[in-house]
Amino acid sequence: MALRGEAQEAPAGSLFDANSDSDSFGVPGVPISRSAAFYRGFMAALGVLVAVAIGLAVREATDVLVLVLVAVFLAVGLNPVVELAIRYGWKRGWAVLAVAVVFLGVVTTVVITVGGVLRTQLLTLIDDAPRLLHDLRHHATIKHLDNKYHILTNLENKIEAPDFAQKTFGGIFNVGLSVLRTLLNILIVFVLTLYFLASLPTLKRAMYSLAPASRRERVGHLGDEILRRVGRYVIGAFLVALLAGTVTLIFLLIVGLGQYALPLALLVALLDLVPLVGSILGASIVTIVGLANSFGIGVACAIFYLIYETLEGYVIYPRVMRSSIDVPEYVTVVAVLLGGSIAGVLGALLALPITAALLLIVREVWVRRQDVA
What's the domain count of the chain? Answer: 2
Backbone angles phi, psi at 256, to 5 degrees: 100, 20
Q: State whether 65 and 100 are in the same domain.
A: yes
Domain limit, last residue, from 210, 240, 260 = 210
Radius of gyration of the chain (CA): 30
Q: State whether 178 and 267 are in the same domain.
A: no
Question: Is residue 68 in some structural domain?
Answer: yes
**C-alpha distance across the termini of the chain, in Å:** 74
Q: State whether 201 and 243 are in the same domain.
A: no
Give the count of beta carbons closer than 10 Å to the beta carbon of residue 173: 8
Domain limit, last residue, from 210, 243, 264 = 210
Question: Is residue 16 in some structural domain?
Answer: no
Question: Is residue 263 in some structural domain?
Answer: yes
Q: State whether 70 and 127 are in the same domain.
A: yes
Question: Is residue 247 in some structural domain?
Answer: yes
Q: State whether 236 and 186 are in the same domain.
A: no
Domain limit, last residue, from 169, 186, 210 = 210
| Torsion angle, alpha carbons of 340, 341, 346, 348, to 10 | -20
Q: State whether 155 and 260 are in the same domain.
A: no
Question: Is residue 219 in some structural domain?
Answer: no
Q: Which domain holds residue 242?
A: 225-364
Name 245's Cβ contacts closer than 8 Å, sequence gap at least 6: 265, 266, 268, 269, 272
Taking each helix axis from N to C terminus, what angle separates 151-160 and 140-149, rounded to the nearest 10 degrees?
80
Tens-of-pLDDT digits for all 373 residues of the chain? 444 444 444 455 555 555 555 567 777 777 777 777 778 888 889 999 999 999 998 888 888 888 888 888 888 888 888 888 898 888 988 999 998 888 888 777 766 766 666 666 666 666 666 666 666 666 666 666 666 666 666 666 665 555 555 555 455 455 566 667 877 888 888 889 989 988 888 888 888 888 888 888 888 888 888 888 888 888 888 888 899 999 999 999 999 888 778 888 888 888 888 777 788 888 888 888 888 778 888 889 999 999 998 888 777 877 777 777 777 767 777 887 788 788 777 787 788 888 888 888 888 888 887 777 6
- Note if the pTM is more than 0.75: no
Sign for the CA dihedral angle at 6, 8, 10, 13 comes to positive
Question: Is residue 340 in some structural domain?
Answer: yes
Q: In Å, what is the CA distance from 260 to each residue of 241, 266, 270, 335?
A: 19, 10, 16, 34
Question: Is residue 28 in some structural domain?
Answer: no
Question: Is residue 42 in some structural domain?
Answer: no
